[in-house]
Chains A and B, each alone.
Chain A
Amino acid sequence: MIKRRVVAVSLLIALSASSAALFSSRVQAQQTDRAKQIGGKFMCMCSCNQVLTQCNHVGCTTSASMLKELDGWVARGDSETVITSAFVQEFGTKVYAEPPRSGLSLVAWSLPTVYLLLGTLLVIFVIWRWRSRALLRPASVAGRQSGVSAQDLERARRRVAQETED
């Protein structure tokens, strides 16, 4: 009877220990994933211009110490905002891997969209203009608006044809 109890208790302890180990390794894995995810938002400060989690320069002590700090904060359960401000306080705004979406940095984020929108509008306008031109005028008279007369342009073309060969 006593033997059975000992076995049962041992089993229970082993089970608890293994689940604790399992839980702890899962927590650790989650922490590692979180650290990796947050670390991907900062630059390594060794001037390699690489993201912190990707800096793999031989002997780079900067990324090693930054990652160690990050791991510590993540293990402590600090929020991303707290970690970000801690890094910014330590290294300045150049630690951001991507500009924050506020203040002047908003310009960096909005510019590509602005380019794309303005460019698209421009292309649509150009197409519309060229289409209306095709509808209004026959192709043969196109090009006569230039400051150079049609005869001069034709003469220049003939000259080019004579002067050049592929």
Chain B
Amino acid sequence: MAYKTHVGSLQSYNKGVIELDDDLRKYAFSNVFEVAGKAKPFERVAVVQNLQYVAEVVRAEGESPWFAAPHDEFAIVMDGEVTFTFVKLADDQVPSHEGGAVQLGAEPNGPRMGRVTARRGHQVLLPKGSAYQMSAAKPAVAIMQTVDGPVTVKRWNEICELGETQ
């Protein structure tokens, strides 16, 4: 038997359903392609929150600002192709705030570490001690595993299914 694997994309996704005798806000049901489709390029919209930890959805389109975090982050590309360019930070350049990515004013003046080009299904390490810039020639979608921080955008009421409480 030949199986057909169903994946989603910005252009084509089929959102599921949530039918519960409960407050739907407790489940925060959303869809990464829908969220990215309504987001500005490189907004980092939280779709997962586990106390201080979040997963953010990013619509990659064009070139992003430079970001850095005081800990490892990870990106999973869900649609399209995203190139991550890395610059090594000096010790005193590594962000020292509690957590999450910060947006830098410009490319840091450290040495280029290299770059990673990732497509759907690829997971990329965004290592502590580096800054990174994302770029995408066409609109793409990534999920960022990180910490709730200065650039985390929260619009739960807009992205989640709220049912009758909406």
Asked whether A and B interact, the reply is no
Q: List residues of A whose CB falls within 8 A of some B CB.
A: none
